[in-house]
Chains A and B, each alone.
Chain A
Amino acid sequence: MKTLVTGALLTLAANFPAVADVNLDELVQQAERAAYYAGEDGRSQARMMIVDGQGRKQMRQFTILRKDVEDNGDQKMLVFFDRPTDVKDTVFRVEKHALLDQDDDRWLYLPALDLVKRISAGDKRTSFVGSHFFYEDVSGRAIAEDSFSLQQETDTQYVLRAEPKKPDTVEFAYYDVSIDKATSLPVLINFYKASGEHYRQVEAVQIETIQGYPTVVRSKVTDLASGGYTLMEFRGAEYDLGLPDDLFSERSLRTPPRQWLN
């Protein structure tokens, strides 16, 4: 479930003039696939430690199921929360739509009320369950949202600069993403304000190869302004489980499909 975190970073644009002999378009798509679309489906346990600017800590523990409708396209996702106590058994369901003009469909199951609540589309650059990760870091920022240019190429990495096509919809002016040549994974993303202030950083801290898919198992996002940060770690990631389509439905919110969760 490399998927989750690092990916945010990527984004690419379709109509890029090729710089040197690097096909940027292909590069970004490949990075998006590596970060968010490994295998046909996947499952992982995850936990986050959220540390605010004053050093106060919060934890989240959850299990994610994901299934791709198509690579670089739509996806189905379920997030089952285990901890902390007040969100235990809460389930979040997303039908991610890759088209820019179609919002994701989202539902939240609140066990204390036995309520399945449809959630309206929201700003994707707001906190994911209270962490420093944004919703978009987890679900993936569509590569068509940004224009990419090659800044630098080293022996091991490409460094791309991404500029949003709709600057008024995001809080950054641009970001630089380093893509690892060996794995195609984005491993570092630095976000900048128009003033040039570097205020946010997402990094892949540890990468493991699981079933042949390089997977970010530890990642960290830092809010450089407040000093707050969130660590995210994946455990027990598995790919190509053969998750059935009908798993991604209201039934799984009310009756968690335990045979697929452990």
Chain B
Amino acid sequence: MKVVALILVASLLGWSVYAQETQSTGSNDEWQMDEWGDWEEQEQQSVLPVTGFFDVAVGQRFSSDPAISGNKTLRDLRVQVQWEKLFDASSLHFTSDLYYDGVKDNVEIQVRELAWQGRLSALDSWGDNLDVKVGQQVLTWGTGDYLFLNDLFPKDWQSFFSGRDDEYLKAPSLSAKVSGYFDWGNVDVVVTPRFAPDNYINGEVFSFFNPMAQSNVAPEFVVSDDNRPEGAEVALRYYRSVDTTDIALYGYRGYHKSPNATDEFGRPRFTRLNVYGASAISPFGSGLAKVEYAFHDSMDDSDGSNPLVPNSQSRFLVGYEHELVANLTGSVQWYLEHNHDHSSLLNASPWPQYESEQNRHVVTTQLMYRALRQTLTLNWFNFYSPTDSDGYMRFRATYKPVDEWSVSGGLNWFYGDESHTFFNQFEDASNAYMAFRYYY
């Protein structure tokens, strides 16, 4: 891995063609910082500007996947446009991606944000304590790194696996968020009127294990309308700081975010899910310690005996993050998924050998290194499950020596012993990618 990183770095350094003539000494002229014009101009621009980037990304499988023709995992030609309009007490935000996806050979538009945000002071004095954000938006909460216990907002796992920037792991949803800030704590209420599922792995770019076929399949399935709920999702969070500890309570009423259930014809479907949880994060020693719990109540299978519907789960997370030496931060997380009513599940299952363990443990380790005045970032992240004997290693290097462009490259590596386990089913999805981004 080190070798890969070094080669990558070396090739990146070779790209620096931006060297400028001479080095000045902070003469008076230099203080004009001409590249950015004067300050007043900036202020005007901040009302109307369109900013964003162009991005080219290419990724390839390490070995072919028998279930999928073609080894391309990422072929993006993308432009992102950001615009915002500020009013007296509120603002309008727009962020949209237009991209050609060369793997699917599609042109796609993803509106990541089109939302109005403001304070409700106009209503009455109690409105001073309330902020509202309504529209298409990306939402995140919880304490886990790449592990989600109480964050039931939509994720885009296809983007995550293919090496798109981390921002794309979070998919937008059309939601209304009301945030209240009070002496006794803060409350967020998020209503998503129409269920927004994850962009789950469905065989379009990456195949997955199917117990009936006893091998990986890539059906590119779409969940039929009658198996896709149209109801609302409601997510709640209460949080506050107690001394230097940030604590939170969570609630969710909605659906499993991936179609993990099947109907009587074997077609995928979404089923009901309620979630209750809590978290705390606090300085500890010279680092940060965190703990999070969530009970995933699978409402359509409350006793766990229906093999077509996922069982209820308890999810635990304990983590610690700490700077090992200057610019190198390490973190470790231990995560447990406990399947309730596991024996009922096994008794009722047509393929008990492929069902998940009663307790699935995952340990993640991360090393993040920033070098060259933070222009070079190396990020290594590994999931390892001792109970499934499988894992998923991610590595990414990003070099951004100037404001205008950055180049990055990385790996997604799935490994394990058995073909059906959570991570190792994606063994043939293992890939490497590179991306170049130009900011305007």
Contact = CB atoms under 8 A, between A and B. Distances in A.
B23 A127 contact: no
Interface in A48-82: 49-59, 61, 82
Contacts of B167: 112-113
A235 B403 CA distance: 22
Nearest to B112: A112
B86 interface: yes
Interface in B286-306: 286-288
Given A83-B36, A112-B138, A227 B323 contact: no
Interface residues of B, number: 65
Contacts of B30: 49, 231
Contacts of B140: 113-115
A243 to B, nearest CB: 16
B439 A118 contact: no
Nearest to B25: A229
B1 interface: no
Interface string A175-204: 000000000000000000000000000000
Contact of A231 (B26, B246, B406): B26
A86 B33 contact: no
Looking at B21, B26, B143, B287, which has the most chain A CB atoms within 10 Å of its CB? B26
B186 interface: yes
B181 interface: yes
A100 to B, nearest CB: 13
Where chain A touches its partner, the secondary structure class is: mixed
B402 A57 contact: yes
Contacts of A249: 181
A163 to B, nearest CB: 20
Contacts of A255: 117, 119, 131, 179
B219 interface: no
Contacts of A132: 373
Given A59-B33, A255-B131, A123 B327 contact: yes
B179 A251 contact: yes
A58 B403 contact: yes
Nearest to A51: B23
Contacts of A165: none
A84 interface: yes
Interface in B1-38: 16, 18-24, 26, 30-31, 33, 35-36
Contacts of A30: none
Contacts of A119: 288
Interface of B: 16, 18-24, 26, 30-31, 33, 35-36, 39, 42, 46, 51-53, 82, 86, 91, 95, 112, 117, 119, 131, 137-140, 143, 166-167, 170, 179, 181, 186, 239, 244, 246, 281, 283, 286-288, 321-323, 325-327, 329, 370, 373-375, 400-403, 406, 439-440
Interface of A: 45, 47, 49-59, 61, 82-86, 88, 95, 103, 105, 112-115, 118-123, 125-127, 129-132, 205, 218, 220, 227-229, 231, 233, 235, 246, 249-251, 254-255, 258
25 contacts: A51-B24, A56-B20, A58-B401, A58-B402, A59-B403, A61-B36, A83-B42, A85-B52, A86-B406, A95-B244, A113-B138, A113-B140, A113-B170, A114-B170, A120-B286, A120-B287, A120-B321, A120-B329, A122-B326, A123-B327, A127-B374, A228-B373, A235-B39, A251-B181, A258-B86
Closest 6 A-B residue pairs measured CB to CB?
Answer: A55-B20, A123-B326, A84-B403, A112-B167, A120-B288, A85-B439
